[in-house]
Amino acid sequence: MIKAGIIGATGYAGGELVRILAGHKDVEIIWYGSRSYIDKRYADVYRNMFQIVDDKCMDDNIEELAGQADVIFTATPQGFCASMMNEEILSRTKIVDLSADYRIKDVAVYEKWYGIEHKSPQFIEEAVYGLCEVNRGDVKKARLVANPGCYTTCSILTAYPLAKEGLIDMNTLIIDAKSGTSGAGRGAKTANLYCEVNENIKAYGVASHRHTPEIEEQLGYAANEQVVINFTPHLVPMNRGILVTEYASLKKDVTYEDVKSVYDRYYQNEKFVRVLDEGVCPETKWVEGSNYVDIGFKIDPRTNRIIMMGAIDNLVKGAAGQAVQNMNLMFGLPEWEGLELIPVFP
């Protein structure tokens, strides 16, 4: 059995990690780390775990945990993992970090967008960006994986094949994204109160959202050029889900069949990417509770643009599910182990 520890186990992403790993036949959770709930029963924090998890929450002592766990998931705010990381920890255990600390290769870009000093930049180059569908081979050999962000996972996978094949003008790419409120975390914030969110939709982080450079960097690798995008996220009154709608000018005349064949070539063997039938648009309700990404597209010959659409569950494929997918690869397990979660409806 793989012994797993979770730092930040009582946040939304941490709670989803517990839910998924509790059903994973090859994993035993040995550490439910939570600075806010030390010595409190985990099932008293999340009552859905009553008579399923009997353990109490522990602290966030990652150095002690490294001596006991085969893998540590850090579902923590930006800066925590970087401040704790050292060679001794990495020599004793594997790390899957759900924060942004090791996602961006240019430390100056990270510090500019996140507004904090990076405490262990010496590990940035080694860290593997854990988008399994793109970096599967590197993930298998990694001891430190930077789990991608939720907006970024959906945004990158939706456009990746067309960027890679040079079908779209990357200078024209605009990404409009909408997320459920769980993406903002479990901390108490006025902007996330029921009365603030319900019956409302709003843009935020306009031209300044910190997932922007992550999307630009990864799509830049795909297109083999520097990419600068407009990315605008919106908050919608639902618990889970991300829907992205991406617009770009086409670089050549293509038919539906041309584009579909590109998506199929990249994703037909990817268990968790579902390229939808013609005329079907992704919806968050059809991926909720699952590790799937649903992708669709529409060519607009009038404007010579293509509209690409993607939907994920931000807490599963956008966070915990992808983290488990990475863990499976790191330990030589079937990539889908513990993740064959059928979307929940209604």
What pLDDT was estimated at residue 162? Answer: 98
100: nearest Cα among 87, 115, 86: 115
The answer to whether the bond into 233 is cis (omega within 30° of 0) is no
* Overall average pLDDT of the 196-216 stretch: 96
CATH number belonging to the domain at 151-314, selected among 3.30.70.1520, 3.30.360.10, 3.40.50.720, 3.90.120.10:
3.30.360.10
The full set of domain ranges for the chain reads 2-126, 151-314
Task: Write the pLDDT tens digit of every residue in 44-79.
Answer: 999 999 999 999 999 999 999 999 999 999 999 999
Name the pLDDT band for 189 (thresholds 50, 70, 90). Answer: confident
pLDDT of residue 118: 98
For the chain, how long is the longest CA-to-CA vector?
Answer: 62
Our answer to whether residue 154 is catalytic in this structure is: no
Residue 204 has pLDDT above 90, yes or no: yes
Q: Does residue 41 surpass a pLDDT of 90? A: yes
Active-site residue (options: 57, 81, 132, 150):
150
Radius of gyration of the chain measured on its C-alpha atoms: 20
How many residues are listed for the chain in this entry?
346
CATH class of 2-126: alpha beta
96-148 pLDDT, tens digit per residue, is 999 999 999 999 999 999 999 999 999 999 999 999 999 999 999 999 999 99
Residue 233: φ, ψ to 5°: -90, 155
What backbone torsions phi and psi does residue 191 show, to the nearest 5 degrees?
A: -65, -15
Q: Using CA atoms, how far apart are residues 6 and 65, in angstroms rounded to an integer? A: 9
Report the alpha-carbon distance of residue 292 to residue 315 in Å, rounded: 11
- Please state, in angstroms and rounded to a whole number, the distance separating the CA atoms of residues 267 and 101: 28
Mean pLDDT of 177-186: 92
CA–CA dist 305, 172 (Å, integer): 9
pLDDT at 42 exceeding the cut of 80? yes
pLDDT digits (tens, 9 = 90+) for 256-282: 999 999 999 999 999 999 999 999 999
Per-residue model confidence (pLDDT) at position 91 = 97
Q: What is the mean pLDDT of the chain?
A: 97
| pTM of this structure | 0.97
**What percentage of the chain reaches a pLDDT higher than 70?**
100
For residue 192, pLDDT over 90 is answered with no
Q: Does residue 274 sit in helix, strand or coil?
A: strand
What pLDDT sits at residue 103? 98
At residue 186, the pLDDT reads 85
What band does 294 get if pLDDT is binned at 50, 70 and 90? very high
Reported as type and span, the H/E element at residue 67 is none
- Among 175, 172, 261, CA closest to 215: 175
User: Which residues have a Cβ under 8 Å from the Cβ of 340 and sit 6 or more positions away?
Assistant: none
In sequence order, what are the residues at sequence separation of 6 or more whose Cβ sits closer than 8 angstroms to the Cβ of residue 43? Answer: 49, 50, 51, 52, 53, 54
